[in-house]
């Protein structure tokens, strides 16, 4: 959940807040979860809806967000080359439109099937597939520029 929250918010502090809000809402609404369905998909859907609500509220209040570079100093264990590559991927992911970034994170990072990811974001499977293809192609192009 934290990876998806970080992909949505592009900021680890906001991601942690989003995870907490998601857990709170899920606990308050636990009677709405249907036994036999995937709990993780239900939680991701709650998180996505919360993120949309937060974005709308922030837009209405005309708040400014932290600058783009604020979340890039997240440490990484391992070789310096791996850290540089991870930073390149993070920056490339941040440049993707929200819909493409969601599709890439859910399918390529979290490992959801196209159908499950489409249910989480609330769109047809074909739409999710298009977003994923465009997102993957854009990532490859952006990472090619970083090399």
Residue-wise pLDDT for 88-120, tens only, equals 788 888 898 989 999 998 888 888 888 889 998
6 pLDDT band (50/70/90 cuts)?
confident
Q: Region of 43 please: left (phi>0), alpha (psi -120 to 50) or beta.
A: alpha
CATH architecture of 2-146: Orthogonal Bundle (1.10)
Percent of the chain with pLDDT over 70: 79
Q: What percent of the chain has pLDDT over 90?
A: 16
Domain regions of the chain by residue span: 2-146
pTM of the model: 0.52
Q: What is the rounded CA–CA span in Å between residue 144 and residue 138? A: 10
What pLDDT is recorded for position 36? 83
CA distance 12 to 16: 6
């Amino acid at each position: 959940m934290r990876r998806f929250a970080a992909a949505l918010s592009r900021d680890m502090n906001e991601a942690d807040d989003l995870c907490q809000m998601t857990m709170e809402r899920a606990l308050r609404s636990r009677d709405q979860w249907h036994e036999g369905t995937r709990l993780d998909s239900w939680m991701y859907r709650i998180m996505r809806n919360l993120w949309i609500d937060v974005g709308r509220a922030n837009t209405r209040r005309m708040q400014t967000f932290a600058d783009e570079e604020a979340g890039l100093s997240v440490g990484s264990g391992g070789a310096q080359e791996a850290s540089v590559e991870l930073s390149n991927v993070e920056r490339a992911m941040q440049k993707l439109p929200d819909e493409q970034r969601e599709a890439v994170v859910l399918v390529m990072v979290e490992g959801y099937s196209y159908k499950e990811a489409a249910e989480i974001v609330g769109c047809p499977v074909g739409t999710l597939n298009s977003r994923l293809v465009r997102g993957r192609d854009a990532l490859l192009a952006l990472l090619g520029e970083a090399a």
